[in-house]
Structure 1
């Protein structure tokens, strides 16, 4: 292993904040090949199906895609949070694959995402589905969950009657289909920090075996000629990939020819270590042959600023990028999974607080798709991804512009470059929700900033062109980014949907 810098403490300044160990695949091994079989029809669409009308829906048929559901079963190691491989145990899980009907449309890349245990939500799919289908990717989402134990660390503190956080939820939805699922879990013996490990001990091994199956062009990917696998995982399951890399699994588990199982890692909306254990922002064993990309919403930015956790600088070797996206909420209405519900900020005890009335739901999927596209180009032709400045810090918090009220620095979409509202986080407002809120400008403020709606719209269009130039908006997605304010907002209260 070759050290790449000084030892990094999360609370040191950025200038002295990097430990990047690039480990060669010495003593690499190929994981066991899992078994698979088509899930028999039960009369219901699968959980997280893109054909179910809801937040993950897309017209697969119209896009020339097909969706299939498979069982995946095998033996995988149970691994502690500290990286100890304890023993091998059997597991049965399931995955959905969405792929072009015509193999000639396939671009050679499969995007892999473990579904969130909160309603089997595929946030990565929701944020990139139009881009993926336009570009000919295949997508695989899989279940990473457990039976509900008596001591369930995901629910004890805040949800004594969970509806959608474990395999019991899946069986209630469709017992016939999901009764066979299960993996090893013991909350007394597998710990993370001072409490039970919230992540299944077999998570890393299952991920590696599924990647091996897909990249070997067996069964579900037969005829596709898979060349690359990218991870695109959001929220709490992003910790899986931090552990996977930090413990050296990328170098340990390889294809039979020695090439990587996974060619790029992208995670979002996750502050690693937040659910217990060690606080890291960069794995200590970053690979030489795969980018590691993290995308923060405003909530994660505020969290790290308040904790004085410094982020490491972006580097081209190893391939590391961090993006702090302003005007991006931690959760949108569009990000909910099956039966997923969150209280609206205005429904709590702050229903009269003007900061808690309006959610923001601007098209951040366009930013995420552009970042994924840039990561793809970095892998395929070596073009480095753009580097973005961090959000400016001010004391134990973030700096905000005095005129607009919005964060200074970071990736700045058009609705932040030419704003019609101040975009806040729940940590700052205390509205009491996983959703973040905004405070729209008054007509007087809009006139003071722009004079007229025509001027505002013109400046907004220029901001879109600048975002394309910077690499945070694809030309094909520009039509999805529209001015937030209307002409009426220059004559009366800004009308935003709560």
Structure 2
């Protein structure tokens, strides 16, 4: 464990109003598919959060981050969705770092996948803007609403290090006049806010039992958990966050604007959590050369229930990047275009077509629902979550490839009924295609046989805690309604 230093609380929390002319970017009513939270018994609020942040440094050979500079100012914004009735609150707050890769906020980790589960449970969800590129675009979207947002680099230009040859400097998302390293203390102060006994806490009057950090944000949350969380605590010495679920991505990224991100073979990539830590991976996170060339395969470590060295890893068989299911909870096309984002970071921005959306994809949300459910039990009552096997691989680094079965599906990993009782070829880009009729005929003696095998597999997953009941029921219903044998 590192030498923990109490983090100062945020200096200011301001609630933003909603009017006919001004609304939250990414608000539930302004998603691709608008969501009426009131019908779930939920309300949504938006706040500005301001404070003083430290700039950290994490040189090679140093296990945890150290302090390079203090007193840097920031202002960001966050959304919160919570039960309207405090009596229906579960006690769990999920604080999600928004993904920023397209230049605007997307909740592609847990809200995008697990919103139905969280609202059934009565959890509160928080989404926070964590990168300067998004903050600048939010100001373009609504200057009056977001004009105070700032991640300004506190180091005067004449004193900044020359990183013109570094991979950080040439990162498309890096602006030398901004400092993304302000994120770490901001994220600490946000987590602390929900444990405050004060009226500025958006959950004041709610009984908070656990604050969970999550995100699918390149290496940001991995950086926080590996480098900053071990040296940070609340004023009473207790943890700021009670557990973490990191979805996708591999190695920690940059701790500040100037230092290089960790190489994927750096031993610091194999970090454990001082509080319960889960990593949930897709097939496309494991190797190099793709959209996530992080080589998470090289960062594997054993699952652990040891206090202060917690870890659980789930490598979901059958899934990949670019999930269509989360698209419906992304900000509306109209609001994205108000930012001027026809082109985002050199890539054309376009929506999924109706044809795309109609095709089947692996329901990653079921694996994430189970992971979050197990994480909460790990935190709240000490119930150790299940372990699963990793993906099977062939050859050695850097020529490693995933092992595939005769259907083209990955071997090993966290296997839900879709892999154990297959009806699809699942590709590592998250797309799927139905098995050919002649293959189905070899695997199953008609529809009744297929449905019975699905039910048996579902029961096995329930017993192993790899599914929650609602998702198990949905898988069985899907099998009973399938039309494979009608062709």
- Per the normalisation by structure 1, the TM-score is 0.78
Native 8 Å contact 1:78 1:184 kept in 2:
no
2-structure distance, mates of 1:231, 1:256: 19
Within-5 A mapping of 1:266-415: 266-273=245-252, 276-279=261-264, 286-288=272-274, 290-303=275-288, 309-317=298-306, 318-336=309-327, 337-338=330-331, 339=333, 360-395=360-395, 396-402=400-406, 404-415=407-418
Q: Which residue of 1 aligns with 2:143?
A: 175
Query: CA deviation digits over 1:360-400, x for unaligned, max 9?
Result: 42322121011111011111111111000111111111111
> For 1:195, what is the secondary structure of its paired residue?
coil
SS of residue in 1 equivalent to 2:215? strand
**Separation of aligned partners in 2, 1:305 and 1:50:** 32
What is the alpha-carbon distance in structure 2 between the residues aligned to residue 487 and residue 466 of structure 1? 21
1:270 & 1:457 partners in 2: Cα distance?
35
SS, match of residue 267 in structure 1: strand
Secondary structure of residue in 2 paired with 1:167: helix
Check the 8 A contact 1:332/1:360 in 2, yes or no. no
2:55 is aligned with 1:78: yes
**Equivalent residue runs for 1:94-105 within 5 Å:** 94-105=77-88
Quote the residue 1:33 is aligned against. Answer: 10
The structural deviation recorded for 1:308 is 5.9
The separation in 2 between residues aligned to 1:325 and 1:474, in whole angstroms, is 16
- Give me the whole-angstrom Cα distance separating, in 1, the residues matched to 2:485 and 2:196: 58
**What corresponds to 1:156 in structure 2?**
none
Pairwise CA distance, 1:357: 12
Aligned residues: 428
Structure 2: distance between partners of 1:408 and 1:364: 17
Correspondence for 1:3: none
For 2:168, the equivalent position in structure 1 comes to 195
Give yes or no for contact 2:454–2:479 (8 Å, CA) kept in 1. no
Q: Distance in 2 between matches of 1:174 and 1:202?
A: 22
Deviates more, 1:80-89 or 1:119-128: 80-89
Whether the 8 Å contact between 1:37 and 1:71 is mirrored in structure 2 is yes
Comparing 45-54 with 325-334, greater Cα deviation is found at: 45-54
Secondary structure of 1:122's aligned partner: coil
Question: Residue 208 in 1 paired to residue 188 in 2?
Answer: yes
Q: Is the 8 A contact 2:213 2:243 kept in 1?
A: yes
**Cα distance, 1:332 vs structure 2:** 1.4
Q: CA deviation at 1:345?
A: 11
The question of 1:449 aligning with 2:443 is answered: yes
Counterpart pick for 1:466 among 457, 460, 463 = 460
Contact 2:7 2:232 in 1 (8 A): yes
> What CA RMSD, in Å, does the superposition of the two structures yield over aligned residues?
3.1
CA displacement at 1:466 relative to structure 2: 1.6
> Which residue is 1:51 aligned to?
29
**Which range moves more in the overlay, 436-445 or 362-371?**
436-445
Q: In the superposition, relative to structure 1, how do residues 245 and 228 fare at CA in structure 2: closer, same or farther (>3 Å)?
A: same
In the alignment, does 2:126 pair up with 1:140? yes
Distance 1:235 1:114, change over 3 A: closer
Whether 1:110 aligns to 2:99 is: no
> Residue 129 of structure 1 corresponds to which residue in structure 2?
115
Q: 1:34·1:209 contact (CA, 8 Å) conserved in 2? A: no
Aligned to 2:344: none
Residues 454-477 of structure 1: CA deviation (Å, up to 9, x unaligned): 221221222222221111110122
Cα offset, 1:40, TM superposition = 3.0
For structure 2, list consecutive stretches of 5 or more residues without a partner in the other structure: 60-64, 175-179, 255-260, 337-347
User: Contact 1:301 / 1:391 at 8 angstroms: preserved in 2?
Assistant: no
State the Cα distance separating 1:484 from its structure 2 match: 6.3
For structure 1, the residue ranges without an aligned partner over 5 or more in a row are 1-22, 148-165, 347-355, 427-435, 493-498
C-alpha distance in 1, partners of 2:15/2:383?
A: 39
**Structure 2 Cα separation of the partners of residues 53 and 108 of structure 1:** 26
TM-fit CA distance, 1:142: 1.0
Q: Determine the C-alpha separation between the residues in 2 that align with 1:422 and 1:416.
A: 9
